[in-house]
Amino acid sequence: NAGVMQNPRHLVRRRGQEARLRCSPMKGHSHVYWYRQLPEEGLKFMVYLQKENIIDESGMPKERFSAEFPKEGPSILRIQQVVRGDSAAYFCASSPTSPGGTTYYEQYFGPGTRLTVT
């Protein structure tokens, strides 16, 4: 059973370009979370998605950032018109569907995408 996969592992973009980060959850998982780790800072929650639904985007910057998790294919975190301050490691995590009653399932993290904006 493959773990959470993210690609690319490293991404370099010039200021003003778009960055697309992909996350494939573990098999059987339908919940995806995106987190950002800025240099020398802790991890911060960005967005929580289920298939075809954004459940909680309270941690997403209001502009330039968007996320989706289509019925087929990976979850995508999209950053438009990147700026130097977007340079960070972006991690996704996945958890399984709750069969009923349980409020929280363990999250499994991917290896991260390290975005560098030049």
Q: By CB under 8 A, is residue 68 in contact with other proteins?
A: no
Q: By CB under 8 A, is residue 111 in contact with other proteins?
A: yes
Q: By CB under 8 A, is residue 69 in contact with other proteins?
A: no
Q: What's the min distance (Å) between Cβ of 104 and other proteins?
A: 4
- Nearest residue to 31 via CA among 51, 5, 4: 51
The residue (of 18 and 56) whose beta carbon lies closer to other proteins is 56
Q: By CB under 8 A, is residue 110 in contact with other proteins?
A: yes
Residues that bind other proteins (CB under 8 A): 33, 35, 41-48, 55-56, 58-59, 91, 93, 103-104, 106-112, 114
